[in-house]
Amino acid sequence: MAAAPACLQLNAKPFSSFLSPNPISKHTPKVGRISCSAASPSKRYSITLLPGDGIGPEVISVAKNVLNLAASIDGIEFKYEEVPIGGAALDLTGVPLPDETLLSAKQSDAVLLGAIGGYKWDKNEKHLKPETGLLKLREGLKVFANLRPATVLPQLVDASTLKREVAEGVDLMVVRELTGGIYFGKPRGFGTNENGEEIGFNTEVYAAYEIDRIARVAFETARKRKGRLCSVDKANVLEASMFWRKRIMEIALEYPDVELSHMYVDNAAMQLIRDPKQFDTIVTNNIFGDILSDEASMITGSIGMLPSASLGESGPGLYEPIHGSAPDIAGQDKANPLATVLSAAMLLKYGLGEEKAAKRIEDAVLDTLNRGFRTGDIYSTGTKLVGCKEMGEEVLKSVDSQVPSPV
């Protein structure tokens, strides 16, 4: 199979959907296209589907149906390869990321993931943890730039745990470095210290090239949004952060039009709750980005609303909700599928360059919310409580209502 097209095209046009403008889009892939009559599909893409664990299969099933319908309107068809990752892969094959899964992902046009992890595997050794499978997948796909948009939709202001006047209008983008830092740094492991006491250790390490490339993605992102970039670090204490800040300032010279600020991560965690509207684009390292994006998700009403796109210099991107496998609600039809549905929209937009189909999904989500449907996590008085499946059906109806009527 031909390689998928380059992922990061830094000078691409912004888009106008509610997921907020972003600089990273792709050329329309040259691969996988067939020309044919109007009655049959005009484009085909291959998607590796990774349902994973817990609520993963529930939300992926919804997202797949929505993706299919939204894209079919433009004559797009998908060839799915569904392969195991995480706990599901451990149970089937004994490893959290089988070679076949990584190969399928690498050969696809885009990868859509549900979530991994669960109590059953929590005590596994590191190399046999579901989470290790996900990290290996990100590493294997070289998707270093993780975009996590947090937008407070007007329909969900009352679902936010923050006061209306604080939450209303929040629209920020966390650009998280995804394949470096303490998640991957060496040395790491377990051992004993000089007193013979047991220790566990990890290393936060960043090379200049890793900071420079995520910085450029972030500056480009900010440039196409409101032109403000806040770099979040812990440069008052950590050498790795001091170096991070130095490189960010160096790259900033290429972007005189972007207003750069720096903030310590502890303050940023507080400011996100105090006055989230002060933020436009945030760039930060792997671990701070993980934590701050979960925090930002609650401003929007729920972690069940936040999609993400993970992109590299070339090859397929990885699209996944930012939430986990939610074992506490798994199998109960309670999960909010919208984060995954919106991740599918990001896949269409950034992964395949299919902006019309992506917008159709975003519009369908807004329409479904406008019609009052809510899963439990975003429920408020006066709205209609539905489960994961019914929410999916309502989104499908909203997509369907956008099908142009025959002339």
Ligand X SMILES: NC(=O)c1ccc[n+]([C@@H]2O[C@H](COP(=O)([O-])OP(=O)(O)OC[C@H]3O[C@@H](n4cnc5c(N)ncnc54)[C@H](O)[C@@H]3O)[C@@H](O)[C@H]2O)c1
Ligand Y SMILES: CC(C)[C@H](C(=O)O)[C@@H](O)C(=O)O
Cβ 285 to ligand X shortest distance, Å: 17
The residue annotated as part of the active site, out of 64, 234, 334, 349, is 234
For residue 123, count other CB atoms closer than 10 A to its CB: 8
Q: Tell me the per-residue interface mask from 74 to 93 with ligand Y, x by CB under 6 A, - otherwise.
A: --------------------
The residue annotated as part of the active site, out of 99, 122, 266, 400, is 266
Which residue, 129 or 359, is less far from ligand X as judged by CB? 129
Binding site for ligand X (CB under 6 A): 55, 115-118, 131, 134, 303-304, 320, 323-329, 335-336, 339, 377
- Which of ligand Y, Mg ion, ligand X, none has residue 241 at its interface (CB below 5 to 8 Å by kind)? none
Which residue, 91 or 400, is less far from ligand X as judged by CB? 91
Name the nearest CA neighbour of 25 among 349, 347, 397, 314: 349
- Which of Mg ion, ligand X, ligand Y, none has residue 315 at its interface (CB below 5 to 8 Å by kind)? none
- Which of Mg ion, ligand Y, ligand X, none has residue 90 at its interface (CB below 5 to 8 Å by kind)? none
Which residue, 170 or 335, is less far from ligand X as judged by CB? 335
Cβ 117 to ligand Y shortest distance, Å: 6
Cα–Cα distance measured from residue 286 to residue 92, given in angstroms and rounded to the nearest whole number = 30
Binding residues for Mg ion, total number by CB under 5 A: 1
Q: Are 288 and 233 contacting, i.e. CB atoms less than 8 angstroms apart? A: yes
Cβ 105 to Mg ion shortest distance, Å: 20
Instruction: Out of 131, 171, 290, 362, name the contact with Mg ion by CB under 5 A.
Output: 290
Instruction: Out of 53, 109, 220, 290, name the contact with ligand Y by CB under 6 A.
Output: 290
Instruction: Out of 62, 69, 322, 346, name the contact with ligand Y by CB under 6 A.
Output: 322
Cβ 240 to ligand X shortest distance, Å: 23
CB neighbours of 202 closer than 8 A, spacing ≥ 6?
182, 185, 188
The verdict on 131 binding ligand Y (CB under 6 A) reads yes
Kindly list the residues in this chain that would bind ligand Y in the complex (CB under 6 A).
Answer: 117, 131, 134-135, 290, 322, 324
Binding site for Mg ion (CB under 5 A): 290
